[in-house]
Structure formats: structure tokens, C-alpha cells
Structure 1
Amino acid sequence: MSKVLVIQNARLEGPGTLGEMLKSDGFGLDVIFAKKEKIPPLDHSMVLVLGAPESANDSLEYLKNEMALIRDAAEKNIPVLGICLGSQLMAKAFGANVYLGPLKEIGFYDDVRLDNSPKLFEGIDSPFTVFHWHGDTFDIPHNATRLAYSGLYNQAFRIGSAVGLQFHLEVTRNDIVSWLESTQEDLSKVPYIDPKMILDEMEKTLPTVQSNMKIFYRNFKSAFGI
């Protein structure tokens, strides 16, 4: 059985619908909780690095280990997908700056546009709908290709076999509810974020995000032959 190495950085941020699709296609998920478990030797068909509240700039040994893993996978031409913090770690691993953005993006957004005609997003409209949960952002690494952007931020890039997505396509309903519940106090201090509106939008908008995840997943598998 082909295995996917999943680096989980927060208990509430799992692989979501992407994990379900991988398992449905017969992949075994080797899930490592990075804060407490050692990254195993790289003997996998793919690497998935997930999000967390931490910053890629935090001086934490496990985050440094993840950046080394990303570089190692790319050097071996193993597909590696970084989501949210994972994409920021990827950008930093390849020498780009990661920094606090002017505004937090939390909730459903439909303003992400494609750049450089990326085959990884073939079949997805531009602009397209995503779910966001980030405050930090990144510059595009040297020799990387920007795949998507919005008015404020770079949103996706590719460098060799490494792909970074600032946004979440993999989210489930339970993910969104649990993230909102666990951050009520923090979100109450951000006047332009309305948790109730996010919940009200979910029934209508989440299926579009999940459809985009299915299309991206199909394209990712095709692009890297996994």
C-alpha cells in the first residue's frame, strides 16, 4: 500500500476531506503529531503538511524539522503539499519571507484568482471560492511559480514537486465549527470577522469549497503520477 506522510501541527487541524479521498483511493495515512512525535524516515508517495496557529517564524525545533522534510521531499521529487502553515513553512524553507499580513482572512472568500494557467487548478473557475484561516502570509520563493493570488495576498505556488496553498479546501463542517468555538474570545477582538455570518454561509458555500478540493486533488494526482 502506498503511504502518505501527514504532518499534523494542531489537534483540530486534520486532513479533512483530502484525507478521506486519499484513503478512498487506497493510500495509507501515516499521521504524525509534530509537536510530540518524531518525523519518520521518508519512505512515502506523498507528504502533506497541515496548518496550525503557530507562525513559520517561531523558533520551534519541530517546525525547523518540517522545513527540512519539505526540502528533502522536493529534492527527492516526492510530491509535498503544504496547507496554511504548511505553505508558509514551505515558502520559508525555500528562502522566502513569511510575515504578518495587514488583515486576518477568516471565513469563506470568493476572490482567489489563478495565475500562470496552472494545470493543478484546471476545471476550477477564476476567481474561485476557498475557506481561509490565516494572519501570516508569504512572498513567492525564488524559482517558484505563483499559482493563485487575491487582492491582498499570494495564495498558492509551486516549486518542483512542492505545492503550497495558503487557503483551506480540505475543511469539513466539523472543522469550521470547532475552529470557531475554540477561538471565540480571540475572534471577538477582530471587528471585521463575524463568526455567525461564517456559520450562516456554510450550508450554501462549503459544498463549492469541497468541490474545488475534489478537482484539485484529481489534478494533483495526475500531475505527480500518484
Structure 2
Amino acid sequence: MKPVAIFRHAAHEGPGYLAEFLDRRAIPRVLVRIDQNDAVPSSVDRFSGLVFMGGPMSVNDSLPWIPKALALIGRAVEADVPVLGHCLGGQLMARALGATVTRNPVREIGWFPVTAVDGPAALEWLDGLPREFPMFHWHGETFALPQGAVRLLASAACSNQAFVRGPHLGLQCHVEMTPSMIADWVRESDGELESAATVQSGEEMLRDAPARTQALHRVADVLYGRWVQGLA
């Protein structure tokens, strides 16, 4: 199998649990370190899938790698190479597919529930999961739904938490978290954790982190498991 290309946009926002998931299934992967100025490939021919992780920047920023990433996503969609996006990655997918990315009404940071949107997509992508379950969040922007996409998840603070379009899955939320990643993000938060109804303290996010992330990984197993079915 060709490797899955994983695009990292910040050193502390790596693939996390996704790497463990792929390794257990002997699915090869390569890391493209945008934060270390690795070049964005111009072709999808060498990859079975593309994964875009999170990052502190905005899709609307004038960064030289963003147009190249958007073009690569477009080529992957045209070639039916599955794309998976986490937070910034989901926003890159939405933008590449013609949708807008704008400021969310509130910042959503911490553990908050998401709800499955009833329909065939939920039956296919969320098989066996409850209608509502806890999810980890860290974002201030949100994507609109691209044409042809179906909304999969919503939260009280952000109506578009996930979408699917064919074999492609865009997430606003984070299923890849590990306890050490949460600790790293809290340490790197740089004033983002001002108290608000939709922003938890670092202490609250880290409370029972091992148990919370184990439950999160059960959700990730379902979502990732459906996504890898599309890999050639």
C-alpha cells in the first residue's frame, strides 16, 4: 500500500492517536512537517490518503504553503484519494472544496459534547456510537459546508463539527488527542484560556485526561476505521 501523507502544521499538533491507529493496522505513513518547511507535494500519486492536522494559523492567512495545500486537496478529491482533516485540516478541506472559513461566534476550547446529525451519513460513519458523546475542541474559527458535503456532527457552540463528502472526512473537533498532547497544548496556550462558558481551564481539560482520551479513542476508532476503508 502507498503511504498516507500526514501534514503537520505545528510541532505540538502532530498525528497523536492517529499514528497509533495506522501503525496497528500496518498502514504506512509519512510525515510532512510544514512547521519545518517541508515542501507540499504537487501530486497525490505517491499516497493512498492525505491527512491534515491542526494548527494555530488561519486558512485565511497569507502563508505560502496554504495555496499549495488547497490545490493538493483538490487533486486528491478529483482522484478519489481519501482526505481527512482535523480542525485547521477540516477548514483547509472546506476551503479547497469552495466553502468559506469564518470566525466562530465563540471560541470553543475543552471537553464539550457533540451530537450526531440524523441521516444515512451518521449510520455509515458513526456506527455503534451514541447520538451524543464528549469531544475535545480547540478552535476560534469554523467552516461552512462545502457543496455536496453532508453534516455529520454538531455542538452547541459550533453547528458544523464534521462533514463527509464521499470518502473524505473533515473535522472541526479533535479525535486525535492524547493526554500528553493536551498537556502540551495547555502549556502552549499563550493566553487563549481566558475564562468563558465555552473555554475550559487547563486544569479542567487535564482532569481525568487518561480516561477521557480512552473514550475519545473509541470514537476515533469508528471514524478512522470508516475512513481507512477508502484507502486504495
Compute the TM-score of the two structures, normalised by the length of structure 1. Answer: 0.92
SS in 1 for 2:153: strand
Unmatched 5+ stretches in structure 1: none
1:114-172, CA deviations, whole angstroms, 9 ceiling, x for partnerless residues? 34232111121111221111110011111111111122321111223321011111111
Tell whether the 8 Å contact from 2:85 to 2:171 is kept in structure 1 after alignment.
yes
SS in 1 for 2:119: coil
Matches within 5 A, 1:70-89: 70-89=73-92
- After superposition, the Cα gap between the structure-2 partners of 1:97 and 1:86, relative to the gap in structure 1 and judged at 3 Å, is same
Specify the code of the residue in structure 2 equivalent to 1:195.
Answer: G
Tell whether the 8 Å contact from 1:108 to 1:198 is kept in structure 2 after alignment.
yes
Specify the code of the residue in structure 2 equivalent to 1:124.
Answer: L
1:120 to 113, 119, 125: 125
Residue identity (%): 33
Tell whether the 8 Å contact from 2:108 to 2:157 is kept in structure 1 after alignment.
no
Specify the code of the residue in structure 2 equivalent to 1:66.
Answer: A
SS in 1 for 2:29: strand
Residue 9 of structure 2 is aligned to residue 4 of structure 1 = no
Matches within 5 A, 1:151-162: 151-153=156-158, 154-162=160-168
Distance in 2 (CA, whole Å) between partners of 1:190 and 1:65 is: 37
1:19-48, CA deviations, whole angstroms, 9 ceiling, x for partnerless residues? 111122112211111240112332111110
Aligned to 1:139: 144
Number of equivalenced pairs: 224
Compute the TM-score of the two structures, normalised by the length of structure 2. Answer: 0.90
Tell whether the 8 Å contact from 1:113 to 1:150 is kept in structure 2 after alignment.
no
Aligned to 2:49: 46
SS in 2 for 1:71: helix
2:202 to 195, 198, 203: 195
Aligned to 1:205: 212
What CA RMSD, in Å, does the superposition of the two structures yield over aligned residues?
Answer: 1.6
- After superposition, the Cα gap between the structure-2 partners of 1:157 and 1:111, relative to the gap in structure 1 and judged at 3 Å, is closer
* Deviation, structure 1 residue 94: 1.1
Aligned to 2:20: 20
Tell whether the 8 Å contact from 1:97 to 1:139 is kept in structure 2 after alignment.
yes
Distance in 2 (CA, whole Å) between partners of 1:114 and 1:122 is: 13
Specify the code of the residue in structure 2 equivalent to 1:79.
Answer: P
Unmatched 5+ stretches in structure 2: none
SS in 2 for 1:185: coil
